[in-house]
Amino acid sequence: MKILIYGAGAIGSVFGGFLAKSGEEVVMLGRPQQMETIKSKGLKIEGIWGDHLINSNILCYSNGPDLKEDHGTSFDLIIITVKAYDTLSASSDIRNMVNMDTLVLSLQNGIGNTDMIAKGIGADQVLGGMVIFGAEIFSPGSVRVTVSADDVVIGRISDKTEAKRVEEIANIFTAAGIKTRTTEEINKAIWNKVIYNCSLNALASTLGITYGQLLESEHTKDIMRRIIAEIYALAQKCAIDLEPKTKEEYIKILFNHLIPLTATHKPSMLQDIEKRRRTEIDYLNGMVVQMSKDHGLSSPVNQVLTELIKFKEKKRSI
């Protein structure tokens, strides 16, 4: 399978590296320094999934026009791993790289990414995904997988997409070393990841701590409970069928399972702030705030966290 990783940061590089190592034909588009280092020295992946050096089956680009000129519409699968705020430009950019058989898989944080992509290329060629492992670029060309709370989950957003093709992709990922399963309820999985991210990412980034440290205080645990309550109220208003069905059940899973498995993770939002980059807050807690307003609800805890992250973004950019 010929696969394009569009936005090969930490998560994208992990997918690209493991898929290339397993024999798939991988093309990656990413930041110049990352791509040039991989070209010259190979891609180094370390961490909880072992140590790997991949220097074959990968072609690297930092320029979209060159990528299009060299590969045209030859991709079987395009995996989008850009930040949520770049989804519109990414979907526009890949439009001329999609043939009638290409599938496009969003493995991004936030709400609404698959909808934006589908507007450009059609819902029957778009898949959604949930990634709940953590990775960091600790130097150009080197990525560390830090934590993992569950398998990757992927699914179709249109029943016109052949289910067997989704299964094929999941099997390819699993064979490459990234355990993946399929679901017919991908929207539910994406919302579950949104709850997870909104509960942890902004709060831990505001405080400058890891996910595990959030469990050390009843104050931070209570804030997480309120975040979750606001999102469950919004989901009910939007007729989103969440799993688990109650906020109390989700809180138990978060505190007793998900956070312990990702306790040492440094929030991606905090990494962005430290690198003076824009965060995805508008597509996480900020989106909860906006959607709540649209449905006549208030979400004061998510709003405060959104405003605090925006302050930290501005402070870091000065």
Tokens of 24: 């798939």
Check 193, 247, 266, 312 and give the catalytic one.
Answer: 193
Give, for 270, the enclosing helix (H) or strand (E).
Answer: helix 268-274
- Rounded Cα–Cα distance for residues 223 and 74 (Å): 48
Q: Is residue 193 annotated as a catalytic residue, yes or no?
A: yes
Rounded Cα gap, residues 311 and 151, in angstroms:
34
With beta carbons less than 8 A apart as the criterion, state whether 265 and 134 touch: yes
Own/partner contacts of 248-255, CB < 8 Å, gap of 24 or more, are 250/195, 251/224, 251/225, 254/196, 254/199, 254/224, 254/228, 255/215, 255/221
Separation CA 105–CA 91 (nearest Å): 11
Retrieve residue 229's tokens.
Answer: 């309550």
Residue 12: CB partners within 8 Å, gap ≥ 6?
A: 5, 6, 28, 30, 79, 81, 107
CB 12 within 8 A of CB 30: yes
- In the structure encoding, which two tokens stand for residue 232, read together? 């469950």
| CA distances from residue 21 to 55, 310, 311 in whole angstroms, order as listed | 8, 39, 41
CB 235 within 8 A of CB 299: no
Q: Which residues are catalytic?
A: 193
